Amino acid sequence: MTQAVPMVEIWRGDFLESAHSGHAVVCDDSGQIVEAWGDPEAIVLPRSSAKMIQALPLITSGAAEAAGLTSEHLALACASHNGAAIHTTRVEGWLKARDLSDAALRCGPQVPDDRPAREAMICAHESPCQIHNNCSGKHAGFLTLAQHLDAGPEYVDADHPVQKACLDAFESKTGESSPGFGIDGCSAPNFATSLTGMARAMAHFAAAPTDSAEAQLHQAMRQHPDLVAGEKRSCTELMRAMDGKVAIKTGAEAFFIAILPEQKLGVALKIVDGTTRASECAIAAILVKLGVLAPDHPATRKRMNAPITNRRDIQTGWIKPSAALA
């Protein structure tokens, strides 16, 4: 098996202090590998980078149209959001429109990552609800699909019709039979595939007709980058930096995907040690390499070739892509 390759370096002065290795694949619209680093056949759990695949049955079943869902709803279905008011008010409204409450969710409560929302909650002596969970939009989509299918409330069970539909979509788009699943942080199954399978799926999204379910989802992500993640987050800032021409999505444990509609390319990336700073640097480097992200944009420089400073604001080093990605 091909080994992971060094992708990101941490320099302190003249010394290479740390290095992060990983695997990455770029596929074209025929599903063929255009470029790869490390092991293209590495088996991975794409975590939240798979949310747009998990949202496909919401559209293809007719549930989204029947429920009158908008592009904002679809962006939230693909989101790992900050729990800011722009996210939670929309999810709460979505649930109310379906005659559902926070109790119907199965993602669990989470303290918001959004600082104003978190501080307001602390000052009010309130506890977080499930709508504050970064995956609450995806789960609102699951519930909408479950209602449409007249299925039971335990929609995160692997044998539930919702998750069976997600598996069918996942295997169809990756072009592979999944070897199994792990339970994600939000309690839903997260299906495994090869890294090439995931890149192939993203290329399928990129090349899909403009009226397709795939296109509706990546268009929603590109139209509403603030709903996909939130302020100061890499997904939001980098999509804005590319003028909404590319959809990107992070996943836990240093996973990342990119959907490039104009180039009809899909990207999948995994940093093996699970470090987010490395996955953000690596995906930025690949997007620069593919010509869709400006290397000198502030959002790029925040993550790639970015200075590292200490508590006195003295620069002590750099985080930068390795020679393999440069």
pLDDT digits (tens, 9 = 90+) for 48-65: 999 999 999 999 999 999
Looking at the DSSP bridge assignments, the partners of residue 140 are none
* Full 3-state SS string of 207-263: HCCCCCHHHHHHHHHHHCHHHHCCCCCHHHHHHHHCCCCCEEEEECCCEEEEEECCC
Listed residue (242, 295, 289) closest to 269, CA to CA: 289
Q: Report the pLDDT value the prediction gives residue 111, as an integer from 0 to 100.
A: 96
At the topology level, CATH places domain 5-321 in Beta-lactamase (3.40.710)
Q: What is the mean pLDDT of residues 87-109?
A: 98
pLDDT reading at 133 higher than 90: yes
Give percent above pLDDT 90 in the chain: 99
Q: What is the mean pLDDT of residues 192-219?
A: 98
User: What does the mean pLDDT of the chain come to?
Assistant: 97
**How does residue 1 score in pLDDT terms, banded at 50, 70 and 90?**
low
Give the type of residue at 100.
Answer: L
pLDDT reading at 2 higher than 90: no
pLDDT digits (tens, 9 = 90+) for 168-190: 999 999 999 999 999 999 999 99
Q: Report the pLDDT value the prediction gives residue 326, as an integer from 0 to 100.
A: 84
